[in-house]
Amino acid sequence: MPTELLSIQPGELKFPFELKKQISSSLRLVNSTDDYVAFKVKTTSPKKYCVRPNTGVVQPHSSADVTVTMQAQREAPPDMQCKDKFLVQSVIAPSSKEVSQDMFNKEEGREVYEAKLKVLYVSPPQPPSPITESNEEEGNSPKAAAAVDNSDRHHLLSDPISKTESEWKFKLNEAALNLLTEERNSAVQQSRSLQQELQAYKSGNSKFGGGTLVDQKKQPGFSFLFVILVGLLGMLVGYLLGG
């Protein structure tokens, strides 16, 4: 609360109230004038509070800090309401000499400025919850749970078993295609050979007296063993792709 001589910061005294514990609060007195200003701090409960310093002189365009300490209390006030008050008196001083009681005597015609301050009790800061800290240390926090979930997803995506199964499917498909290609090429070669023999027979280069033109071993077609192999490979590939 500002006065004509001193600006008092803050405008009220706040104490984080705790039973059986001394609590301190600070004030700053700011002198924005070109004069020396003497001050004196009073309270309605002098036995309850200790003010250091309770008197002093603030130099021009300077400031002074005052610490108010509340003695340890055995009982909390009703509804945490405090009726205590402080009074800060200020007066122009001739110099920075020691402050006397007569300097604040209004009867001598001195102009004494006064500022009243209220006292407020506030709740003390709460310590961090040990349960929360324990959960975070054990990895039960939301961040830890999200990290575990992401780790599981990455494990599923990079599962070596799934990767190996895919590789086997690809290799089996490739082997079946290679076998079919080789057999197809063999059949084409046999067909071309038969066509050449037939052409030679027609030209009179080969005569067998009405016998069979083509040997049974050279007839085109697929062998029985190859048919069984292709069938087994088809069943295996279908099972893997279906699984």
- Work out the widest C-alpha separation in the chain, in whole angstroms: 162
Residue 114: both structure tokens together: 């006064």
Q: What is the pLDDT of residues 176-186, one digit of tens each?
A: 677 777 777 77
Residue 176: both structure tokens together: 């079946």
Q: Is the pLDDT of residue 142 over 50?
A: yes
What pLDDT, on a 0 to 100 scale, did the predictor assign at position 150?
Answer: 58
Residue 208 pLDDT grade (very low, low, confident, very high; cuts 50, 70, 90): very low
What pLDDT, on a 0 to 100 scale, did the predictor assign at position 221?
Answer: 53
Per-domain residue ranges for the chain?
Answer: 6-122
Measured from the Cβ of residue 108, the count of other Cβ atoms closer than 10 Å reads 9
Distance CA 20, CA 72 (A): 5
Question: CA torsion sign, 54 to 55 to 59 to 61?
Answer: positive
Strands (DSSP E) found in the chain: 6-9, 13-16, 23-31, 36-43, 49-52, 55-58, 62-70, 85-93, 113-122
What pLDDT, on a 0 to 100 scale, did the predictor assign at position 243?
Answer: 60
Residue 73: both structure tokens together: 């209390």
**For the chain, what is the mean pLDDT?**
77
* Second-level CATH architecture of 6-122: Sandwich (2.60)
Q: Is the pLDDT of residue 38 over 90?
A: yes
Residue 79 pLDDT grade (very low, low, confident, very high; cuts 50, 70, 90): confident
pTM above 0.75?
no
Mean pLDDT of 51-69: 96
What pLDDT, on a 0 to 100 scale, did the predictor assign at position 176?
Answer: 67
Is pLDDT larger for residue 34 or for residue 207? 34
Chain centroid to Cα 101, Å, comes to 60
User: What is the dihedral angle through the alpha carbons of 203, 209, 211, 215, rounded to the nearest 10 degrees?
Assistant: -50
